[in-house]
């Protein structure tokens, strides 16, 4: 647990220290979150290409896709399919979705994907089309404000240090 929080903190710092503008970092996070929820496999490549398209931070976009990882997939994808099943008008039970998603994650083959059926796959994409843009929007605004605050604090510290240096030189 401690190791995971250390990695999360390092990612947080790398995002804040990214040399791009706050908006480019925010766009990177947004496309990373969007592609993580829309596409079940290959979302890192899609995030990278989308970041190039929208002039977002490419490294940040690829790293952000890791919010969907083998530990969080069963939770996020199950909720996504559950919400999507209501969107397409054919509600599925949460336990059935959880069972099918876990089965695909344990045994990723074409046969297990075929066993899912069209309804669950349609539910996955419908849920992703709702959750992806919402997560991207929240991620963009949260990240840009966070990076702006970090830059402002860094500028204040630098100004304070410069003021101290000038005061020492005058004495």
Domain residue limits, the chain = 2-170
**Comparison of pLDDT for 68 and 90, the residue scoring more:** 90
Say what the pTM is: 0.78
Q: Which two tokens stand for residue 78?
A: 């199950």
Residue 3 has pLDDT above 60, yes or no: no
* Nearest-angstrom CA–CA distance, 124 and 26: 25
Sign of the torsion formed by the C-alpha atoms of 107, 2, 63 and 39: positive
Instruction: List the alpha helices (DSSP H) in the chain.
Output: 2-16, 22-38, 43-54, 58-64, 73-87, 94-106, 110-170
**Comparison of pLDDT for 69 and 144, the residue scoring more:** 144
The dihedrals phi and psi of 141, each to the nearest 5 degrees, come to: -70, -40
**Comparison of pLDDT for 169 and 106, the residue scoring more:** 106
pLDDT at site 161: 77
Pick from 110, 115, 123, 34: nearest CA to 84: 123
pLDDT at site 165: 67
14-28, 79-93, 123-137, 138-152: range with lowest mean pLDDT: 14-28
């Amino acid at each position: 647990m401690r190791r995971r929080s250390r990695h999360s903190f390092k990612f947080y710092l790398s995002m804040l220290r990214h040399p791009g503008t706050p908006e480019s970092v925010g766009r990177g996070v947004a496309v990373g979150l969007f592609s993580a929820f829309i596409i079940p496999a290959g979302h890192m490549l899609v995030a990278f290409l989308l970041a190039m398209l929208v002039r977002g931070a490419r490294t940040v976009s690829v790293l952000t896709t890791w919010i969907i990882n083998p530990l969080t997939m069963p939770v996020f994808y199950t909720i996504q399919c559950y919400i999507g099943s209501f969107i397409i008008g054919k509600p599925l039970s949460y336990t059935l979705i959880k069972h099918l998603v876990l089965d695909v994650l344990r045994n990723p083959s074409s046969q297990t994907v075929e066993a899912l059926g069209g309804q669950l796959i349609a539910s996955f994409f419908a849920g992703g089309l709702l959750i992806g843009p919402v997560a991207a929007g929240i991620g963009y605004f949260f990240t840009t404000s966070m990076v702006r605050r970090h830059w402002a604090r860094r500028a204040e510290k630098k100004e304070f240090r410069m003021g101290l240096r000038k005061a020492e030189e005058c004495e």
